Amino acid sequence: MARKLNFNQDELVKLSSNESPLGLSSKVADVIVKHLKELHIYPEVCSPDLREAISKYVGYPVNNIVIGNGGDGVLDTIVRLFIDKGDQTIIPTPTFSFYELITRISNGVPKFLSRDKDFTVPVDRLIDSVSDRTKIIFLCTPNNPSGNIMSEEEVRMVVESVNCIVVCDEAYVEFTDSSVSPLVKKYDNLIVTRTFSKAFGLAGLRIGYAIIPDWIFGEYMKVNQPFGVNQMGVIAGIAALKDEEYLNQTVILAREGRVFLMSNISFKVFPSQANFVLVDVSPLKSKEVVSGLLEDGIIVRDCSSFRGAGDSLIRITVGTPEQNKKVVCALNRINKKNQR
Ligand SMILES: Cc1ncc(COP(=O)(O)O)c(C=O)c1O
């Protein structure tokens, strides 16, 4: 992208993939360097040490934790486990596009349910849309790209009313005060998936995990790759869980930054519980605004590629205070120019 736009890489402001603006934690970097010479050795099968560390972090026994190559890898394994040809998944849109992709790859049929205007999931309509062929419902909370959460009560209603698996994707959970993970011990059809890519700043290492009910563990292991997380990921994941200072800083930066973006962007900004905000740039089109920002070296996400998102939404990752100021100035300039 830098080459294409004629910018030096360090001049670009990349606010398109919800990564941590703090860069890699220096404590994690030190641990990675220390273990570099061990890379000719396979990781331990199913990474018990990393699962042990996650188990402490989430407060579940180690046999309720499974891991994979990013949250994507875990979601993919879950779908391969539960979806046979013709089985259906329900996906409240707009949301993370990967749920649709993995359903189709497993020869399943994604059924889409439009969220309400403020992006809340219409729980009654969702429950009514479940059929005998429904095997998985995907709930993303906080939702990508809208940033809103589902309450524990809403998730409980869904989980209690259906026989299929409910996957709650909590990729952005660290940025909110709300998690439905305590419900996994109460319901045997709820799975919570998470990632190290966002608040822990390890997107490049591809580490994800899920908190699953007891009975799913054995089933998951039958289809799981034995070396699903690479050795650097294992080492870095354990170190990242110990680095509370980095985690707190990332979370504070996101919480303060999203308030700044919300109060200063002159377009409509939706309230967010994540490390990004969704902006409605109408009457402009998302495509033209994204191109306009690119001219200033700022990369944000055009949400027209999200099913059901229309053509006027952009998603901006909360960056450093300087990056946030830069994107606000550029966006407001585009808005002002349009009003002239
Ligand atoms: C909602 C959601 N779930 C899962 C993921 C996958 O994260 P990763 O595969 O990097 O762990 C993402 C990444 O953007 C996401 O937004």
Distances (CA, A) of 270 to 88, 156, 260, 297: 31, 25, 13, 24
> Pocket of ligand 1, candidates 54, 198, 229: which has the most ligand atoms within 8 Å of its Cβ, to mutate?
198
Taking 50 as the pLDDT cut, the residues of the chain under it are none
| H/E stretch holding 210 | strand 207-211
Any atom of ligand 1 within 6 Å of the Cβ of 208: yes
CA dist., res. 99 & res. 225, Å (int): 20
For residues 308 and 100, the answer to whether their CB atoms sit within 8 Å is no
Nearest to 206 by CA among 219, 216, 197: 197
Which ligand 1 atom sits closest to the C-alpha of 95? 1
Q: Which residue has the CA at smallest separation from atom 14 of ligand 1?
A: 17
CA dist., res. 197 & res. 71, Å (int): 8
Helix 231-242 with 26-34: angle, nearest 10 deg: 140
CA dist., res. 190 & res. 158, Å (int): 10
How many CB atoms within 10 Å of residue 161?
14
Annotate 230-241 with three-state secondary structure. Answer: CHHHHHHHHHHH
> Pocket of ligand 1, candidates 96, 138, 202, 306: which has the most ligand atoms within 8 Å of its Cβ, to mutate?
96
pLDDT of residue 28: 98
Long-range CB pairs of 292-297, under 8 A, 24+ apart, other chains included: 292/330, 292/334, 293/327, 293/330, 293/331, 293/334, 294/5, 296/326, 296/330, 297/5, 297/7, 297/11, 297/12, 297/13
Ligand 1 mean position, distance from CA 130 (Å): 25
For residues 47 and 73, the answer to whether their CB atoms sit within 8 Å is no
pLDDT of residue 2: 77
Distances (CA, A) of 162 to 80, 136, 150, 168, 319: 20, 10, 17, 14, 39
Does a cis peptide bond (omega within 30 degrees of 0) precede residue 283? yes
Encode pLDDT of 243-293 as tens digits. Answer: 999 999 999 999 999 999 999 999 999 999 999 999 999 999 999 999 999
Any atom of ligand 1 within 6 Å of the Cβ of 70: yes
Q: Which two tokens stand for residue 3?
A: 């080459």
Domains of the chain with bracketed CATH: 2-23+245-339 (3.90.1150.10), 40-242 (3.40.640.10)
Which ligand 1 atom sits closest to the C-alpha of 197? 10
Q: What are phi and psi for residue 135, nearest 5 degrees?
A: -110, -30
